[in-house]
């Protein structure tokens, strides 16, 4: 398997929306225009994982605030179901964390998403709170997780 990591571009937005619909069905999956808006935002950083030039994963992080020390917020991480469990999620997350450097990083994750929670905990995130009915459509709760400055 030859996975290549690189920038996600506007040309990938439709493919990302297709994956979103599979990965977050029933939880307000982002449409193509949401990806285009994310990619246009100046302090966002998005990475793609590609196999044979096809996007099999995408992940993005936002830098918050105008002055150092910055905080960061992971906005999304998704891997094509056919490619899950092969290290791609971790590969993309580590690139987002490289971008954040020694900044504090936050994210929200569904409380029943054991796979994602295990990934985040293994990269140093801890649960710092619970957000009731954070996911608008399903009404599911989220944990807020935080990785402290390093």
Give the pairing type, strands 44-51 and 54-64. antiparallel
Is residue 120 annotated as part of the catalytic site, yes or no? Answer: yes
Catalytic residue among 73, 108, 123, 135: 108
- Give the nearer residue to ligand COA in terms of CB position, either 21 or 115: 115
Give the closest residue to 98 by CA, choosing from 37, 147, 143, 64: 147
Q: C-beta of 118: minimal distance to ligand COA in Å?
A: 4
> Which of 14, 41, 64, 115 is in the footprint of ligand COA by CB under 6 A?
115
Q: Is residue 134 a contact partner of residue 108, using CB atoms and an 8 Å limit?
A: yes
Q: Does 77 bind ligand COA (CB under 6 A)?
A: yes
Is residue 108 annotated as part of the catalytic site, yes or no? Answer: yes
- CB neighbour class for 109 (10 Å; exposed up to 12, middle 13-18, buried from 19): buried
The residues near 136 (Cβ < 8 Å, ≥ 6 apart) are 28
Quote the CA–CA distance of 84 and 137 in Å, as a whole number.
Answer: 25
- Give the nearer residue to ligand COA in terms of CB position, either 69 or 81: 81
The 83-112 contact track toward ligand COA, x by CB under 6 A, reads -xxxxxxx------------------x---
Residue nearest to ligand COA (CB): 89
Q: Does 79 bind ligand COA (CB under 6 A)?
A: yes
- CB neighbour class for 45 (10 Å; exposed up to 12, middle 13-18, buried from 19): buried
Q: C-beta of 100: minimal distance to ligand COA in Å?
A: 16
How many residues bind to ligand COA according to rule CB under 6 A? 19
Q: Is the peptide bond before 114 cis (omega within 30 degrees of 0)?
A: no
Binding footprint of ligand COA on the chain (CB under 6 A): 23, 77-79, 84-90, 109, 113-116, 118-119, 122
Catalytic residues: 108, 120
């Amino acid at each position: 398997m030859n996975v290549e990591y690189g920038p996600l571009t506007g040309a990938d937005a439709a493919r990302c929306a297709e994956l979103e619909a599979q990965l977050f069905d029933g939880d307000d999956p982002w449409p193509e225009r949401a990806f285009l808006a994310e990619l246009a935002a100046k302090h966002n950083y998005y990475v793609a994982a590609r196999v044979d030039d096809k996007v099999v994963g995408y992940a993005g992080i936002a830098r918050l605030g105008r002055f150092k020390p910055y905080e960061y917020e992971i906005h999304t991480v998704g891997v094509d179901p056919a490619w899950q469990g092969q290290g791609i999620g971790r590969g993309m997350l580590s690139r987002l964390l490289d971008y954040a450097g020694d900044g504090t990083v936050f994210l929200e994750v569904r409380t029943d998403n054991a796979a994602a929670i295990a990934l985040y905990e293994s990269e140093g995130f801890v649960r710092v709170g619970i957000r009731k009915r954070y996911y608008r459509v399903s009404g599911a709760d989220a944990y807020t997780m935080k990785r402290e400055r390093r």
